[in-house]
Structures are given as structure tokens and as C-alpha cells.
Amino acid sequence: MSKKIAIGADHAGFPYKEPIKEWLTNNGYEVTDYGTNSAESADYPDFAHPVASAVENGEFEMGVLLCGSGQGVCITANKHQGIRAALVWEPVLAELTRQHNNANIICLPVRFIELDKALECVEKFLNTEFEGGRHQTRVGKIAC
């Protein structure tokens, strides 16, 4: 698995972005931060698009996006071909979306998840392999 991770968040996701970046760095990941850099109101597409583009073009294998509900960044990232962004709030979902969907961006709903659980979800997401097989056939049918 790649050790280079792209991360981005709007103002609602900002409080978790810094601790997640710290966790990633402490666990040997090289992190590129696409913003935001404060809790001042900001538009989630301004951060989701650069993260998704960086994963889409192969600069990063995985990405982490955060916003209040997780939905805005997830919807935005999934507009990019080759991106399979998944809204995750439980570690088992992080595992399943990697195993079955080969998701490459995890989207976390900061207003609905505790930081410890968010970190656990990121850890599961980054350390779970895609199972392939019958799932590869399905994943292959996603692109338009």
C-alpha cells in the first residue's frame, strides 16, 4: 500500500484534519495537505476536487476527506473518473469499502463521529486490501 496520502477538509472537517495528519505522519505516511487551514467558513469542493484529482492522476493511491456530514466531499470526489470515495463512520465500513469496492478515498462525517473512531476508520481503510475476484467485475462496471 502507498505511504503517500492526500488529505483535505472544509471548515467543519478542519478540527479532525490536523490530528489525522499527525496520526498518519507518526505511522510512516507522507501527507500532502490540500487545506483548509482554519475553521473559517470554506467551500468543501475547493478541497475535495484537488484531493480527488491528485488520487485520480496517480500522484497518491489514497485520500482522506472530511466535512461536517462527509456527504459533500464524497459527492464531489465521486465526480472524478477512477475515484471511489466512500462515506465511512464505522471501522467495519472502512474495511468493507476497501475489500468490496476498492475505495480510494475515505470521507469522514466529523459532526457525527468521535475522533478516536475516525482514526480507527482511517487505519482500517489504509490497511485493508481489495479482495478482487467477483468484486473486481463489479468495480469494473462503475465507470461511465
Angle at 110 between CA 106 and CA 113, to 5 degrees: 90
Choosing from 11, 49, 74, 100, the catalytic residue is 100
Burial of 30 (0-12, 13-18, 19+ CB in 10 A): exposed
Choosing from 11, 49, 67, 74, the catalytic residue is 67
Q: Extract the C-alpha cell encoding 93.
A: 465500513
Question: Is 135 considered catalytic here?
Answer: no
Length of the chain in terms of residues written: 144
Angle at 56 between CA 102 and CA 68, to 5 degrees: 75
| Rounded Cα distance, 7 and 93, in Å | 19
Instruction: List the catalytic residues.
Output: 67, 100
